[in-house]
Amino acid sequence: MKKVGVAILGLGVVGGGTYQILTQNREFYQKTQDVDIVVESVLELNRERALSLGVPAEKIMTNIAEVVCNPDVNIVVEVIGGIDAAKEYVLAALNAGKTVVTSNKELFCKYSHELERAAKRQNAGLYFEASCVGGVPIIRTLLDGLQANHITSMMGIINGTTNYILTKMSNEGMTYEDALKEAQRLGYAEANPTADVEGFDAAYKLSILSSLAFHTKVPFSKVFREGITQITQEAIADGKQLGYCLKLLAIGKQTDAGIEVRVHPTFVRKDHPLAAVNDSFNAVYLHGDAVDDVMLYGRGAGALPTGSAIVSDIIYAATHSESRYSTFKNTANADKSVNFPSDFSSAYYLRLSVTDRTGVLAKITNIFGKNNISIVEMQQKILDGDKAAVTFITHESRELAIRDAVSKINALEFASVDSVLRVVS
């Protein structure tokens, strides 16, 4: 039976979960995969934490050189997060000829071209299933399940923190601030939640996934990004009344104009499969030219779900002798022949505060008409005094046309735009 030695860099939540899975299931993998996977060492400065997880004292290392110089280590697992140290350690492992498995979406998104170049030089493997959507096997599906297809679009709820917050705001009427505090209390959100709530985390993942799906480099800098910090209960209530629920969606599309990649809060029809994805769960909805629609759903984070993805990569690497790399030219920047249109098309929700008097709506709709924006649905609610709230759902419109209309409406004396959200039918 083939023996494979593994080193784990970092024993935090995910590293600890990975260690637990590997040690508890060692005999199971021997039986089902015909491979003996042994944790040969861990890199962990908190010695007491490592010992509490059952790591033998002699296997606890404190510097990367001890790990990569060990001839019994075949696969190095990076789960420390961040950029600087993680990049240094991963490159050290690859340059030593070790296969690397990483869960680090920011590192892989920004530096996969450097990591892959180092891996190719040494004919080492580089695996990253756990970098996107936790325990949901989206990367393996794109590489090994849907390769018969031209993927034309993907939509996903790929950040559990924001999905939890929006679920609490929608289902329990929480304010954004209260929902965020609850997410932090449960460990779904960091003390500094910026990466999640401002859409950075989802944009890193979309960069990786769209590069794989569309077989071309999609840099993070090309991803349109908008977070959830400005979402109000009024907008959520309007959506419910109109038959929508609110999700932070990552959207990638291959169109005649080029590749659209965007992350933003989106109203989704309540009968769409993504509308039922709540709390910290994630899902990705794909369309292929042959397979039609496919949706993958599951836990998007956590020690064991993410550890499951890491161990899946370990087993794959251990049972496949030939290393595989990108199906496209993996460089720092996008191919010059690929266009990333910023003036994408979508339906929109707009909520306006207006003075309730004759002629107001006519002037607003005149602005819409001059920007080729047509209306599917409109509702008006009388507020205090002579004020009213007016909501619109548009037909498919151009992003730049909507922005121009919003700017012109805000310049009116008697109206202002409170919310603008994109809509998926």
CB atoms within 10 A of CB 319: 13
Q: Confidence band (pLDDT; 50, 70, 90) for 161? A: very high
Contact 376, 393 (CB under 8 A): yes
Please report the pLDDT score of residue 356 as a whole number. Answer: 83
> What average pLDDT score do residues 184-191 get?
90
Q: What is the rounded radius of gyration, in angstroms, for the C-alpha atoms of the chain?
A: 24
Residues 59-100: tens digit of each pLDDT: 999 999 999 999 999 999 999 999 999 999 999 999 999 999
User: Any idea where the domains of the chain sit in the sequence?
Assistant: 2-134, 139-298, 345-424
The per-residue pLDDT of the chain, averaged, comes to 96
Percentage of the chain lying above the pLDDT 70 cut: 100
Question: In this model, does residue 425 exceed pLDDT 80?
Answer: no
pLDDT value at residue 352 = 97
Q: Does domain 345-424 match CATH 3.30.70.260?
A: yes
Q: How many other CB atoms are found less than 10 A from the CB of residue 194?
A: 12
**Can you tell me the mean pLDDT for 291-308?**
94
What pLDDT does residue 263 have?
98
Q: Model's pTM, two decimal places?
A: 0.95
Please list the active-site residues: 205
Instruction: Output the 3-class SS for the chain.
Output: CEEEEEEEECCCHHHHHHHHHHHHCHHHHHHHHCEEEEEEEEECCCHHHHHHCCCCHHHEECCHHHHHCCCCCCEEEECCCCCHHHHHHHHHHHHCCCEEEECCHHHHHHHHHHHHHHHHHHCCCEECHHHCCCCCCHHHHHHHHCCCCCEEEEEEECCHHHHHHHHHHHHHCCCHHHHHHHHHHCCCCCCCCHHHHCCHHHHHHHHHHHHHHHCCCCCHHHCEECCCCCCCHHHHHHHHHHCEEEEEEEEEEEECCEEEEEEEEEEEECCCHHHHCCCCEEEEEEEECCCEEEEEEEECCCHHHHHHHHHHHHHHHHHCCCCCCCCCCCCCCCCCCCCCCCCCEEEEEEEEEEECCCCHHHHHHHHHHHCCCCEEEEEEEECCCCEEEEEEEECCEEHHHHHHHHHHHHCCCCEEEEEEEEEEC
Would you state the pLDDT for residue 355?
92
The answer on pLDDT for 172 being more than 90 is: yes
Please compute the mean of the pLDDT values over residues 13-25 and round it to a whole number.
Answer: 97
| Averaged pLDDT for residues 161-178 | 96
For the cut 90, the answer to whether the pLDDT of residue 382 exceeds it is no
**pLDDT band at residue 406 using 50, 70 and 90 as cut-offs:** very high
Q: Domain 2-134: which topology?
A: Rossmann fold (3.40.50)
- Categorize the per-residue pLDDT at 312 as very low, low, confident or very high, splitting at 50, 70 and 90: very high
What CATH number belongs to 139-298?
A: 3.30.360.10
Stretch 152-165: mean pLDDT = 97
Number of residues written out for the chain: 425
How does residue 187 score in pLDDT terms, banded at 50, 70 and 90?
Answer: confident
pLDDT digits (tens, 9 = 90+) for 188-246: 899 999 999 999 999 999 999 999 999 999 999 999 999 999 999 999 999 999 999 99
Contact 251, 261 (CB under 8 A): yes
